[in-house]
Amino acid sequence: MSLGGFKAIESNLHLGSISAVDAVWKSARNAVRGNIEWNSGKSPISVKGVDIFAVYMFKEKKVRLLKSSEKLEISLEPFNHDLLTVSPVTVVPRKSIQFAPIGLVNMLNTGGAIQSVMVVGDESLIRIGVKGSGEMRVFASGNPVSCKIDGVDVEFCYHDQMVTIQVPCPSSPKLSVIEFLF
């Protein structure tokens, strides 16, 4: 699959790549190729002026940064798959930290859990509204000072520019508010 030629992204995007064997594909190793078309629509994540995107690769549990003009080639073995989540990178003004919400990685639609993203004033605080529970991941170029869920400090792991926290099942249907202070 080729990620390139971004026109406009209105939210993070979740991609599924699946390899299958049929009469057209004769080799043991096949590449799935295509271009992504971005359509406009409502989204909790603004991408105006964004030129760098975080691409989370589900199988590798890693993130890669790509400029909107760069491509990412993916080759899959027959009957294999991978999931990718693409999210625009924002810069936290005060500390020049690059940040991109990935979502709840235990869900098939990882980024679909993200309902809102806000950089609070000129502080080094990012607030994310999340619907659901599970393992939340975000790309961050620096280690956060603290993480909170609904105002309560929570443990987090920072490794390979990824912040990971566990979002518990909410006691009501309201959103969980996750805060990352840098």
Contact 93, 25 (CB under 8 A): no
96: left (phi over 0), alpha (psi -120 to 50) or beta: left
Q: pTM value?
A: 0.75
Q: Flag whether 4 is in a domain.
A: no
Higher pLDDT, 25 or 6: 25
Higher pLDDT, 88 or 172: 88
Q: Flag whether 7 is in a domain.
A: no
Outline where 71-132 has alpha helix (H). none
Separation of alpha carbons 11 and 60, rounded Å: 22
Contact 100, 89 (CB under 8 A): yes
Q: Flag whether 123 is in a domain.
A: yes
Q: Flag whether 144 is in a domain.
A: yes
Separation of alpha carbons 116 and 121, rounded Å: 15
Higher pLDDT, 84 or 180: 180
| Number of domain units in the chain | 1
Q: Which residues constitute the domain of residue 174?
A: 13-181
97-145: per-residue pLDDT in tens? 999 999 999 988 888 899 999 988 777 899 999 999 999 999 999 999 9
Q: Flag whether 6 is in a domain.
A: no
Q: Flag whether 26 is in a domain.
A: yes
137-176: per-residue pLDDT in tens? 999 999 999 999 999 999 999 999 999 999 998 777 889 9
